[in-house]
Amino acid sequence: MNPTSFVPGAQLARRQAMQSFLGVSPALVAIGLFLILPILIVVAYSLMEANPYGGVNRVFSTESYLSLLFERQLDDSLAFADSYLVIALRSAGIAAATTLVTLLVGFPVAVWLSMQPPHRRGLLIFLITVPFWANLLIRTYAWILLLRGSGVVNNSLMGLGLIDAPLQLLYTDGAVLLGLVYTYAPFVVLPIYACLEKMDMRLLEAAQDLYAGRLRTLRKVVLPIARPGILAGAILTFVPCLGAMIAPELLGGGTKMMLGNLIFRQFSDARNWPFGAALSLVLMAVVMLVLTLYALRAERQRLARGGV
Amino acid sequence: MLRLFGKARLGVQDFPGFGGFSFLFYLYLYAPILVLVIFSFNANQSATIWTGFSLDWYRAAFANQALRQAAGNSLLIAVCASLAATAIATLAALGTSRGARFKGMRLSIGAIMLPLVLPEIVVGVATLALFSTLGLSLGYGNLIIAHTVFCIPFAYLPIRARLDDMDLSLEQAAADLYAGQWRTFRKVTLPLLMPGIVSGLMLAFIVSLDNFVISMMVSQAGTTTLPIFIFGLLRMGVTPDVNAVSTLILGVSVLFVTLSYLLGKKKH
């Protein structure tokens, strides 16, 4: 036996470690039992047969994974079908577009915030976070009031005489994009701001002293400092957008289907649980892949900087 | 100090237009909410043409039996889930921030954050699969369990932040004065931590109150929550009483976020 284990200090440390672990254990039990175990059950479901009345038959089948890309013909042969692939690609496309637009919108706001006098920043940041906590369903619904045929935007435009007939704003890809940008903009502003907050303003002066124009200063000084925040904001937008359900449902009218809606329908209309399970796992795998790549990158940079 | 601020202002002037753009951004954030609140007081049947002030839709909303039932369900579930999640999160925050490190601590923190990281729809599907496999049909219980799990990280983060901010020397001083571990915790750590706990509790409460996607997957007949009820109304078309209910829910959320923010700002 290791002689140091008789030293009371080591015993105390072990007791404290045990106490720490005891503190964390209820959380681990709750998450293990009601989140991790359920995901394993979803894996099992995805490998079973669909019960036509909803739920699953406990018979092994890879049908749900096959139907991601193929359609079974009458003669039982498989033919390539792209309808789900189209939805997946559309989800990725809309998520990417949302990420790009939120970055373009969020960056100037974060720069502006970081240059406000410190005593005013707290309130301004708080005002950006408030909508995040307000009910997403209701906030998205509020856009319907603005965008629909007899909505505020159309009425205003017609009142100004700019258009004669209401424009079709609702139930378009643009409306879904608008709603998603609205939802995720705070997720982009805050991490970029967190990076710029610590920026030494003398760098801007130095750049000017060296005759760098505004755009050049922005590109060569501000942008590199903001880069980790930009990356974090992009992830925080792209990942939840992939599985977004409310904006496509309400602002896309359910016709502009995204992965979230597709999964939801497999369960809500009790149509095909194994297929819904397989889709969920594909979505989760993509999300985990993005997050892992991000974590690995962050780890590499930490090591490159020689940090602890 | 004054010179520093002067320089900061010089920085803003370097990028003209950013101020105006930010103003438009705040307008974009609040315009839909304001429109909703305004039209909830509209006298007209049409939801988007203003004809005069009235409280009719609030009266209609309060008179709606199904709506009151859904609101009651939401409150019950949010109270139970946020209390349970905060208790679990407080212990977890103490375990990961005080006392000695243990093997797998980073992994444990990762697990606590998992509900925040996974797409909501996946969490909903998984919870539904669990309850369906176990044949578990506890009514409110199903929703309370599901809400507790995804509220844990929302309660954990502010409590953990408060703990990391706290000055360890006070706890050490208590130990020097021969206060036992439990006494130190009760007399020193807990009172100092309280604002963080309350802040976490309130955030967990509104997150539970507002949740739609997971609730929709897990709820059964009779356990409809407010967001599910509103979604049902929206499917039937936009009516002004939805505006009134929505405004009330937004009011509750904003109130709680503001209180939580003020608590967080409170000095130690």
Give the CATH number, domain containing residue B211. Answer: 1.10.3720.10
A171 domain-assigned = yes
- The model's pLDDT over B8-18, given as tens digits with 9 standing for 90+, comes to 444 445 577 88
Neighbours of A275 (CB within 10 A): 23
Facing A111 at nearest CB: one of B18, B149, B210: B18
Instruction: Report the residue of B21, B108, B122 to disrupt the A interface, i.e. the one with the largest count of A CBs within 10 Å.
Output: B122
How far apart CA A159 and CA A204 sit, in angstroms, is 45
What pLDDT does B47 receive? Answer: 52
Q: Above 80 in pLDDT, residue B209?
A: yes
A7 pLDDT more than 60: no
pLDDT of amino acid B6: 42
Average pLDDT over every residue of B253-257: 90
Number of domains present in the structure of chain B: 1
Between residues B228 and A13, the one the model is more confident about: B228
* In the predicted structure, residue A11 carries a pLDDT above the cut 80: no
User: What is residue B212's predicted lDDT score, i.e. its pLDDT?
Assistant: 94
Residues of A in contact with B88 (CB under 8 A): 26-27, 30
Return the minimum-mean-pLDDT range out of A130-134, B44-48, B131-135.
B44-48
Average pLDDT over residues A147-174: 86
* Burial class of residue A213, CB neighbours in 10 A (0-12, 13-18, 19+): exposed
Total domains in the fold of chain A: 1
**Which of A66-70, A141-145, A185-189, B191-195 has the weakest average pLDDT?**
A66-70
How do residues B136-193 score in pLDDT, each as one tens digit?
888 899 999 999 999 999 999 999 999 988 888 888 888 888 878 888 888 888 999 9
B266 has pLDDT over 70:
no
The per-residue pLDDT for B99 is 67
Q: Is B27 exposed, middle or buried (0-12, 13-18, 19+ CB in 10 A)?
A: exposed
B100, burial (CB in 10 Å: exposed 0-12, middle 13-18, buried 19+)? middle
Residue A194 lies in a domain: yes
Q: What is the CATH number of the domain that holds A185?
A: 1.10.3720.10
pLDDT score for A78: 83
Q: For residue B86, tell me if it sits in a domain.
A: yes
Instruction: With a cut of 70, say whether residue B25 has pLDDT above it.
Output: yes
Quick check: B159 contacting A, CB < 8 Å?
A: no
Residue A156 has pLDDT above 90, yes or no: no
- For residue A198, what pLDDT is reported? 81
Nearest chain A Cα distance for residue B67, angstroms = 15
Q: Is residue B12 part of a domain?
A: no
The pTM for the full model equals 0.87
Between A15 and A189, whose confidence is greater? Answer: A189
pLDDT, average across residues B229-254: 85
A106 located within any domain:
yes
Establish if B254 belongs to a structural domain.
no
Q: Is residue A264 part of a domain?
A: no
Contacts of B220 in chain A (CB under 8 A): none
With respect to residue B185, please indicate whether it lies within any of the assigned structural domains.
yes
Q: Which helix (H) or strand (E) holds B63?
A: helix B56-63
Q: Is B5 a member of any domain?
A: no
| Residue range(s) defining the domain that contains residue A216 | 98-257
ipTM summary value: 0.87
pLDDT of residue A30: 97
Instruction: Note the pLDDT tens digit of each residue in B54-99.
Output: 888 888 888 888 889 999 999 999 999 999 999 999 999 999 987 6
Residue A87 lies in a domain: no
The reply to whether A234 falls in a domain is yes
Out of B7, B121, B249, closest to residue A243 by CB = B121
In this prediction, residue A113 carries a pLDDT of: 92
User: Which residue, B85, B74, B33, is CA-closest to B202?
Assistant: B85
CB-CB neighbors (< 8 A) of A26 in chain B: 87-88, 91-92
Q: Does any domain span residue B109?
A: yes
pLDDT in tens, A173-205: 899 999 999 999 999 999 999 999 887 777 777
Q: Is the dihedral of CA A135, A137, B114, A44 positive or negative?
A: positive
Residue B40 in this model has a pLDDT that exceeds 90: no
Interface contact flag, B114 A35, Cβ < 8 Å: yes
pLDDT band with cut points at 50, 70 and 90 for residue A1: very low
Question: A128: which chain B residues are within 8 Å (Cβ-Cβ)?
Answer: 26, 29
SS3 letters for B134-200?
HCCCCCHHHHHHHHHHHHHHHHHHHHHHHHHHCCHHHHHHHHHCCCCHHHHHHHHHHHHHHHHHHHH
pLDDT at A212 over 70: yes
Q: Give me the pLDDT at residue A53, please.
A: 77
The verdict on residue A55 lying in a domain is no
Q: Is residue A58 part of a domain?
A: no
What is the pLDDT at residue B8?
43
Cα dihedral A156, A177, B122, A67, rounded to 10, equals 120
Which percentage of chain A shows pLDDT scores above 90?
44
Range of the domain at B162: 74-223
pLDDT score, position A190: 93
pLDDT at B5 over 50: no
Contact B71, B65 (CB under 8 A): no
Flag whether pLDDT at B236 surpasses 90. no
Is residue B257 one of the residues assigned to a domain? Answer: no
